[in-house]
Chains A and B, each alone.
Chain A
């Protein structure tokens, strides 16, 4: 069976391996997806006769807590990658496990926030602000869920590759880390836009 080329070594023409090129192309499409929604937010807000201050409807302390969680998870994600670079598989599993737990905590807090809104009869249909709030944060939460599934696989069954091809496995974790950082960066934009402005 022929091996897939350039999974670890960089291609001469692109200057990077195929996995990294692939994830950056994917992230570029994600930028367009979230960029389109951010543009929709801007135009809806500019066209609205009145727009509520996010903090008057949403809970700023809860969102601040969730921001801290995601900043912390990006740190542990990078630590899991550097642990593999230092050939420390035990530390890798520890840090990636903490990353997954922090992501689950983020979703738990988000679902609490959603249920609080529903209990006050605030739904996507309630106002334009609530519609864009649920759309943006819901899509972001789906991306968090996707990250949990991928990281969960690399923490569990996918980690077998460490014994057979450690260099390629380390590369996979870097790719997963790039995705995770992108999802965290989206939240860094969402937080001030929806909650503070």
Chain B
């Protein structure tokens, strides 16, 4: 496995953790376990997860052009 493939795998794992953390934050906020600051972190995490999806697509295209 090359660095480009490992990077794509790592970013995919990061997307999963961002979305999972966002879900965790929302659940805890709704169950009154955490405050508003954690809700802000959860929203930010989901936004980052979406941003990483866009990045994953862009970097995949960049790797393709580097190969050719």
B-side contacts of A137, CB under 8 Å: none
Secondary structure of the B contact surface, majority rule: helix
Q: How many residues of B contact A (CB 8 A)?
A: 26
> Considering only CB atoms, which chain A residue lies closest to B37 in the complex?
A61
Q: A64-B41, A82-B66 are in contact. Are A191 and B10 (CB under 8 A)?
A: no
> Do B45 and A81 have beta carbons less than 8 Å apart?
no
**A71 CA to B37 CA in the complex, in Å?**
22
A18: interface (CB < 8 Å)? no
B17 near A74: Cβ-Cβ < 8 Å: no
Within 8 A of A (CB), among B1-48: 1-4, 6-7, 10-11, 13-14, 17, 20-21, 24, 34, 37-38, 41, 45, 48
Residue from A61, A68, A81, A196 within 8 A of B3 (CB atoms): A81
Interface centre among B3, B7, B10 (most CB of A within 10 A): B3
- Residues of chain B with a CB closer than 8 A to A103's CB: none
Q: Which of B11, B41, B62 contacts A82 (CB 8 A)?
A: B62
Stretch at the interface among A44-52, A104-112, A152-160, A177-185: A177-185
**Chain A at the B interface: mostly helix, strand, loop or mixed?**
helix
Q: Is the CB of A188 within 8 A of B14?
A: yes
List residues of chain A with CB within 8 A of the CB of B21: 64, 191-192, 196
B20 near A192 with CB under 8 A, answer yes
Complex CA–CA separation, A3 to B19 (angstroms): 49
Q: Is the CB of B2 within 8 A of A181?
A: no
Assembly CA distance A192 to B10 (angstroms): 15
The number of inter-chain residue pairs (CB within 8 angstroms) is 56
Closest A-chain residue to B8, C-beta based?
A78
Query: A67 contacts which of B2, B6, B17 (Cβ < 8 Å)?
Result: B17
B59 within 8 A of partner (CB): yes
Chain B residues packing against A (C-beta within 8 Å)? 1-4, 6-7, 10-11, 13-14, 17, 20-21, 24, 34, 37-38, 41, 45, 48, 52, 55, 59, 62-63, 66
Given contacts A74-B7, A82-B66, A192-B21, 18 further A-B contacts (CB under 8 A): A24-B1, A60-B38, A64-B45, A67-B17, A74-B10, A78-B3, A82-B62, A85-B66, A174-B2, A177-B7, A178-B3, A181-B6, A181-B7, A182-B6, A185-B10, A185-B13, A188-B14, A192-B17
9 tightest Cβ-Cβ pairs between the two chains A and B: A177-B3, A174-B3, A78-B7, A181-B6, A71-B14, A181-B10, A188-B13, A188-B17, A85-B66
